[in-house]
A and B are shown apart, each in its own frame.
Chain A
Amino acid sequence: MIYLSQVLGRPILDLEGERVAVLKDVIVRLGEGDHPPVAGFVARYRRRDFFLPRWRISDFGEHGVHLNSDILDLRPFMRRDGEVLLARDVLDKQLIDVDGKRVVRVNDVQIIEAANEWHVTGADVSLLGLWRRLAPAFLRSTRPVEVIDWADVGYLGTDAATVQLKSHRGRLARLHPVEIARLAEAFSYQQGAEIVESLDDDTAAETLEEMAAERQAQILGDMDEERAADILERMSPDEAADVLGDLPEEKAEDLLNLMQDDEQSEVAELLPYEDDTAGGLMTTEFVTLPRDLTVGEALARLREMAETPNMIYYLYVVAAEDSWNLIGVIALRNLILADPSAPLEDVMRSDLQVAHPDDNAADVAQKVAEYNLLALPVVDEAGDILGIVTVDDAIEILLPKGWRQRLPKMFG
């Protein structure tokens, strides 16, 4: 096993053992495997970089690199697709350790020889790795160190990130969107955007919802518009409306127009409300059932729904099919426990708490907490249900900012 820091700058020796150049970088080819193979080297000779393919090398290690022929191709080096340069793209850069769910900085790279091939096996993130590069040779320790398996590298914070994200597709998705969001925020905004873009639409939507409002707007605003609209469709309408509100007017309209009709109108409906009102807080995804159904029919409907909203614990009972006039609410638990032949009217509660769209957001959140509700319906003057304020949005209002942002914004 060798470390990258031990081979960089070492001489490249020809068959006679004469030094012909020095080793500047090690090239690996990312692909299917978890541990990418070394594809070649960048050699430096008289201020020129040239490429040494793997097959021209007979041996490489701390003593240097041995060539197996005397012929050198001195054409200048050009990086090809799918290649990552260990010194340039990996060393000293940050990466996401999927296993440890954290962002770390690479102090060294571990390379292991197996079956006459060299493979990158891990990133050394230990203090000893740092010491290995700082200290003179005789002070170095040979103790084993903490190494992150290359198979757990979810994102590499470097120019070559797209290469790496393509070949390691799906590794990041092993994490919870909350974790992805937290990790992405540790990188620069370009790299954070790159991480979000590499996710599938659903994960990207959930991840964005966990990020700071301005950051969401920035990332979506810079993205390809079709893709941004796809992700907005997957976000909950209230979050999507918030993001659009943070974007410049024209951009917001463009994105809204690209969205599918259903999602578009849901979001558009929420846009007119002020941020700090019940209307600004509510989402339009909820389930309504007409009063004349039986419990059994209601359950059957729920099962048949093509798309269920996140919040199905409360089912809102309306006066008739196609009406929005709210007359009662049933908790899912009561629906399941009730006699299937009983009419909904007998099971529902009609003395329910409601909010109005212009109510103050803090008061509404307070009400949700006070009555121990999971959601509070928002109704207009006519008593028609417009949306619901869910408990997660209420928590955001009730908890002071410092509680939610575990990482301090120290320079803000």
Chain B
Amino acid sequence: MSERPSEVSHAGRRLLRRGAQGVRRTVARRPRLFIYLAILGPGMITANAGNDAGGIATYATAGADHGYRLLWSLIPITISLGIVQEMCARMGAVTGKGLADLIRERFGVRWTAFVMLALLIANGGVTVSEFVGIAAAMELFGVARYISVPIAAIAIWWLVVKGSYQRVERVFLAMSLVFLSYVVSAFLAHPPWGTVLREVVHPHFEFGSAYLFTCVAIIGTTISPYMQVFIQSSVVEKGVRVEKYALTRADVWIGTVFAIMIVFFIMISTAATLNVHGEHIESAAQAARALSPLAGPYAEVLFAIGLLGASMLAAGVLPLATAYSISEALGFEKGVSSNFREAPIFLGIFTFLIALGALIAMMPGLPLIRVLIITQVINGVLLPVILVAVLRLVNNRELMGSHTNGPLYNLAAWLTTFVVSALSVLLIAATLFPNLFAK
């Protein structure tokens, strides 16, 4: 018995030599493709999140009102969107922190309060636009907005707070894929491809307030402030590291180009179906007509499905993301699993945004399409606030080390900020003094 204890200490411990040889086999068996798929994502998802209710309305209106004459703006917008998204993704990978977090830690309380206020207003506007989108989509199905909007608002609030939103999220995402049909529709509408190509590479600018308005709306809906917060958070959430950042950069650029391609086809199909007849878009039913070359009499149904999916998707995510950002930056208790006593401000912001969106969308006689575009203009006007913060952070050596912007990159990024600011100022001036640019 005396020598037993040492043996006993091995009780339950099996020393099998065959196991050691198994290592290489198991580890090598892991498919490499999986890594790519796991990382390829945030850029694609975020850039295409821009194609929501407000986005569709803006691009469709731009095509209907201005024909092919705004197509040229898509190339500079692609570059700007790619650069802005890439900077935020890079910050996420290098610092492992969200944008709201970095703003608070680097700029202090007052700047944070200012930026967060801008974000709250911009995201509030977008939330309103999503509920307007729900109202418009359901009206195409013949359901009055006084019924559809409150039901949608309560359903979304309930799903998010109960934590089951993620399960229905995929359904909405799948529904919004309907908008891919714009690509087919654009081809079937037989646009004059020669003119289209010429307009893409031929920049021209007008000083009319309608033109400015549409420009700012396009920029505001494509490069929305929430998208910067969003992409950085998802890069952090995915745990993307600097060493593997090249993949994420590719994802950001591919996603950007893909998103703008969709925009390109939306504008072409509306230009070819509505603008040629001198029609404007004042209702969702009119906007849906751009899909008629593909779907014929079912164009409205198709459009309504896509609009509803995209709007429901964003109407849940945006208020939640906004509440997270603000709570994160200002240090409030957060999380949907907490109750109102534990996280009053977090849940308060979330609830307020949904209620605000629903209430505004239910206002009688509200011109839905017009409201959709105004919310995107607000986005565009507030965008410079976020862009300046992003640029100052990404060029901070202490924070980013050797991953700050290069000189050319900085030039393009500051130029974007400057152009967007200038357009916003011009638009505000043109709105306040309607005769400013009158000929």
Q: Which chain A residues (122-158) contact chain B, with CB distance < 8 Å? A: 125, 130, 133-134
> Is the Cβ of B23 less than 8 Å from the Cβ of A271?
yes
A189 CB-CB contact with B under 8 Å: yes
Question: Given the known A-B contacts A245-B26, A253-B23, are A188 and B17 also in contact in the complex, defined by CB atoms under 8 Å?
Answer: no
User: Are B13 and A262 within 8 A (Cβ)?
Assistant: yes
The total of interchain contacts (Cβ-Cβ below 8 angstroms) comes to 148
Is A189 within 8 A of B26, CB to CB?
Answer: no
Shortest B164–chain A CB gap in Å is 7
A92 on interface, CB distance cutoff 8 Å: yes
* Structural contact, B27 and A253, CB atoms closer than 8 A: yes
A411 engages B230 (CB within 8 Å): yes
B373 to chain A, nearest CB (A): 27
User: A265 touching B20 by the CB < 8 A rule?
Assistant: yes
**Interface mask (A7-19 → B, CB under 8 Å = 1, otherwise 0):** 0000000000000
Is the CB–CB distance between B15 and A249 below 8 Å?
no
Inter-chain contacts of B233 with A (CB < 8 A): 410-411
**Pairwise interchain contact B238-A412, C-beta atoms closer than 8 A:** yes
Select the stretch in A20-28, A304-312, A328-336, A339-347 that faces chain B: A304-312
Stretch at the interface among B101-109, B198-206, B214-222, B251-259: B101-109
Assuming the contacts A284-B14, A324-B14, A407-B337, asked whether A252 and B110 have C-beta atoms less than 8 A apart, the reply is no
Interface segment, one of A110-118, A285-293, A389-397: A285-293
* B335 in complex: contacting residue of A249, A264, A284, A408, CB < 8 Å: A408
Contacts of B24 in A (CB 8 A): 249, 253
A210 to B17, CA, bound (A): 30
**Complex interface residues of chain B between 1 and 31 (CB less than 8 A to chain A):** 4-5, 7-9, 11-20, 22-28, 30
Decide yes or no whether A47 CB sits under 8 A from chain B. no
Contact string against A for B residues 85-113, beta-carbon threshold 8 Å, 1 for contact and 0 otherwise? 00000000001110000001100111011
- In this complex, the member of A245, A249, A264, A410 whose beta carbon has the largest number of chain B beta carbons within 10 angstroms is A410
**A190 CB–B CB distance under 8 Å:** yes
Q: Is the CB of A289 within 8 A of B11?
A: yes
Convert A92-113 into 0s and 1s, putting 1 for each residue whose CB lies closer than 8 angstroms to a CB of B.
Answer: 1110000000101111000000
**Cross-chain contact A245 with B5 (CB below 8 angstroms):** no
Judge whether B237 and A409 touch: CB under 8 Å: yes
Asked whether any CB of chain A lies closer than 8 Å to the CB of B324, the reply is yes
- Which residue of chain A lies nearest to B35 when distances are taken between CB atoms in the complex? A248
Q: Bits for A26-46, please: 1 = Cβ < 8 Å to B, else 0.
A: 000000000000000000000
Interface SS, A side = mixed
B330 within 8 A of A: yes
B331 touches A252 (CB 8 A): no
CB distance from B184 to the nearest CB of A (A): 31
CB distance from A239 to the nearest CB of B (A): 16
For residue B394, CB closer than 8 A to chain A, the reply is no
Docked-complex contact A130 and B19, CB < 8 angstroms = no
Q: If the complex has contacts A214-B239, A269-B14, are A125 and B331 also in contact, measured as CB distance less than 8 A?
A: yes
Q: In the complex the two chains form, what is the Cα distance from A356 to B291 in whole Å?
A: 57
Closest to B320 in A: A410
A27 to B84, CA, bound (A): 37
A215 at the B interface (CB under 8 A): yes
Contact across chains for A245 and B30 when beta carbons are under 8 A apart: yes
Whether A301 is near chain B, meaning CB under 8 Å from some CB there, is yes
Taking the closest CB of chain B, its distance from the CB of A195, in whole angstroms, is: 13
Give the distance in Å from the alpha carbon of A288 to the alpha carbon of B10 in the complex: 9
A285 and B321 CA atoms in complex are apart in Å by: 44
Instruction: Return the CB mask of A314-338 against B: 1 if under 8 Å, else 0.
Output: 0000000100100000000000000
Q: Any chain B CB within 8 A of the CB of A202?
A: no
Residues of A within 8 A of B (CB): 91-94, 102, 104-107, 125, 130, 133-134, 188-191, 214-215, 218, 244-245, 247-249, 252-253, 256, 261-262, 264-266, 268-273, 284-289, 301, 304-307, 309, 321, 324, 386, 402, 406-412
- Give 23 A-B contacts (CB < 8 Å), ordered by A residue: A92-B105, A94-B331, A104-B331, A107-B331, A125-B331, A130-B330, A134-B110, A248-B27, A249-B28, A252-B23, A256-B23, A268-B19, A269-B14, A272-B19, A285-B12, A285-B13, A287-B12, A321-B7, A402-B164, A410-B321, A410-B324, A411-B233, A411-B234
List 12 additional A-B contacts (Cβ < 8 Å) besides A130-B109, A284-B13, A289-B11. A92-B108, A92-B112, A94-B331, A106-B331, A125-B331, A130-B330, A188-B236, A253-B24, A256-B23, A261-B15, A408-B336, A412-B238
